[in-house]
Structure formats: structure tokens, C-alpha cells
Amino acid sequence: MHSLYYLGIILFSGMLMGKVVSLFKLPKVTGYLIAGVLIGPSIFNLVPSRAAGKLTVIADAALGFIAYSIGSQFNCENLKALGKRIFTITMFEALGAVIMVDLVMIFIFKMSIPFSITLGSIAAATAPAATLMVIKQYKAKGPVVNTLLPVVAMDDAVGIIIFGISTTVAGALMNNTAHFSMVKAIFFPFLEIIYALLLGLAVGVLLSIISKKPEGEDQLLSMTIASLFFTIGISTSLNISPLLSCMMVGATITNIAPANTRTLSVIDRFTPPVFIAFFTIAGVELNLTMLTKVGIVGIAYILTRLVGKIIGAAIGSKLSKCPKTVQKYLGLTLVPQAGVAIGLAMVAETMIPEFGSSIRTIILSATVIYELIGPLLTKTALIKAGEINLSNNFTPKTINKNL
């Protein structure tokens, strides 16, 4: 069948299940993922994995839009107010997960050091997509949300650097190499990040110039989408992070564009069906049979990463003297893990083939769990933090409007 036929099934299924789970006061993104699992190869196979694989451009576009939205939160005035807080929190929540996984794998499960540090390095990555969807759906506002958005934006950059260092060390240990270049281990990932940010800055400046006098919002929307597609395409071709590039486009616009509110918000007219398709396709690609293969080591990864994120975020927030709600609940909003982690697992499979297959299986299995429970944990944390007003979100009138 034609790809558009499958895309139609994906959109209808996602919308329907999003409506169903909303009746149970669950995040819509959870419904999209469940819909994908139901129509995917794991259950009814209405959309075979081969068909989903042909729709990867939707995932690329959705992640670009999400990164653009996150980058728009990087207003210089807000960052000055947050100061060193965000950097401190990001380092602690990322390293908390890495160190926790490393220690458990090495000392409890007696796994090899190369395997342990490679798996641990992937634990740093956090997927912002599901978290952002929950924030938007429930219109969450407050200190936790204000801290969360820049943290997840910086998280991937920190994760890439940690992964680069860890895999270099792992490769050296496996090859019995006594000497390896720590400079290269740090320099090359850092250089990749710089290139991504420079590309995003250039596109952001260009977009801010050409968006000054658009002939109506339709033209502004077209220019914005074209700029983001251009950024994603160039980033992918250069093997640099499209997430960081698109994030930088949003950050540039929010700081230098004279009419940045329109340029940033106009994209919301285009993204709803893209996001529904993206998360539903992610559900299609969640292979439930992976759960039977993960074993106790995989379960330990899932739990220890979660504990590491919560403890690391709490310590970082406490050291940064953040409000009590941030210290208590930020870690629970950092659970989702998807695209970047899977990408790093695939890179690890190439760089360290001896352990690559095991690492990939663990990460894919963890993705199934994290993407299903992550949105619910995020919602619960934000409710407890007092940043979601259920009375405003769930009146009958509002429910019908949201659906």
C-alpha cells in the first residue's frame, strides 16, 4: 500500500487513542504511543515496520520542531536570571545517571568496564519530545517547567560529550591500549556541538532578517518551516546534531528577531498532525518482544538510570538553591529516553561490536518502558509541584476543546 495510506491510519489511530486516554486524565502523548503499539507489528500489524521505516522524515521534522520550541525558551534575560543553575543541574542529573549505571554494572553485575561505561554514557540522554507535549497539553507553568526546558535542551550536548569520552576509553581498554588521546575524546564531540550551534546561529540570523516583513502569516509559516527543514537537512548531511542546530535557531530568533513572538508561535499551526504522527510512529516501532530479551541487566539499567536522574537532579537543584518543588520533582520529569539514546546505541554497535548488540537491545527495551511511563511521571510530578491546574484543564468544556 501507499505510504499515505499508512499515514492516514497512523493519524486517525493517534487522534482516537489520544481522545480515549484524555477521558482517563492521561497525557495525550501516552495515547499516541499506545495507538502505535496497537496498530504496529507487536499486535494488529495494520502498519508494518517496513511502512513505518519509510516515514522517517516525519520523525526528523518533529524533532526539529521540538528543538526549535525548546530553543525559544533560551531568552538571554531568562538565562541571566537562571545563571549557573542550569549548567549545574544538567551536569549533576546527567552524570548522576551515568555514574549510577556504571557502578551498578561494574560492581553488582560484574560486567566488563568497556560494556559498563558505554551503556552508562547513553544513560545521560533525555528525550524532550514527550515532556514538552505534556507541558503544552496541560499548559504547565512554574519553577519546575522553567528549569526543565533549558535542562533538557542542554542535556543532549552533555550526553554527546560523555558518550564520546566513554566510547574512546572503552575502545582503548578493549584494544589493550595503554595510551589514548583524551584530547581527541573531548575535542571531537565538542567540535560537533560547535558546528551545530554555528549552523543554527546562521540560519536563525537569516530567518530573523527575512521574517521582518512577511506578506501575511502564511508566508511567515512557510519561511520558518523551510528554514528548519534546511537546518535539519544540512545537519544530517554533516553528521552533526539537528537537535542542537534547530535549538539554536529558536534561541537566536527569541533574542534578536524584532517580531519573535509571531515567528516562534506561527509554527504551532503546522505541528499538531506532525507530532501525532511522530509519537504514533514511535509506538509502531516499539517492539514489545524486546522486553523478553532484556533480562535482569536491562531491568537494572532502567531502574538505576531513573534513580540516578532523580538523585542527580535533586543534588544539582539543592546546590543551586532552587525552590523545594524543583529539588523534589525535577528528576521525575527527566525519565523519557528515545531518539538520541537509540542513535548513540547504534553508534556504539559500530564502534564496539563485541557489546553493541546487547547495548542496543537494552536501550530499545528501555525506550519502550520510558516512553510509556515517562509522560505519566512528568504529569504527576508537575501536578505535585502545583504547576498543572487540573480544575482548569479538565472541565467538560475544556476537555472537548482539547480533544
Which CATH number does the domain housing residue 199 bear?
A: 1.20.1530.20
Name 317's Cβ contacts closer than 8 Å, sequence gap at least 6: 89, 147, 326, 327, 330
Q: How many CA atoms lie within 13 A of 208 on its CB side?
A: 21
3-state secondary structure of 369: helix
d(CA 33, CA 321): 36
The pLDDT tens digits for 49-84 are: 889 888 888 888 887 887 788 788 777 776 676 668
Tell me, yes or no, whether 129 lies in a domain: yes
Residue 185 confidence (pLDDT): 62
Give the residue among 220, 195, 234 at the shortest CA–CA distance from 60.
234
Structural domain includes residue 116: yes
Q: How many independent structural domains does the chain possess?
A: 1
* Single-letter amino acid, residue 216: G
Residue 279 lies in a domain: yes
Print the domain residue range for 185. Answer: 56-402
Residue 13 falls within a domain, yes or no? Answer: no
Computed over every residue of the chain, the mean pLDDT equals: 83
CB-based contacts of 137, cutoff 8 Å, min separation 6: 27, 28, 29, 402
Indicate whether this model's pTM tops 0.85. no
Residue 344 within any structural domain of the chain: yes
Give backbone dihedrals phi and psi of 2, rounded to 5 degrees, phi first: -70, 150
Task: Fill in the amino acid letter for 197.
Answer: L
SS3 240: coil
Retrieve residue 187's grid coordinates. 575535542
Span 77-118, pLDDT tens digits: 766 766 688 889 999 999 999 999 999 999 999 999 989 999
Residue 33 included in any domain? no
Tell me how far apart the terminal alpha carbons of the chain are, to the nearest angstrom: 29
297 within a domain of the structure (yes/no) = yes
CA 264 to chain centre: 20
| Assigned domain for 391 exists | yes
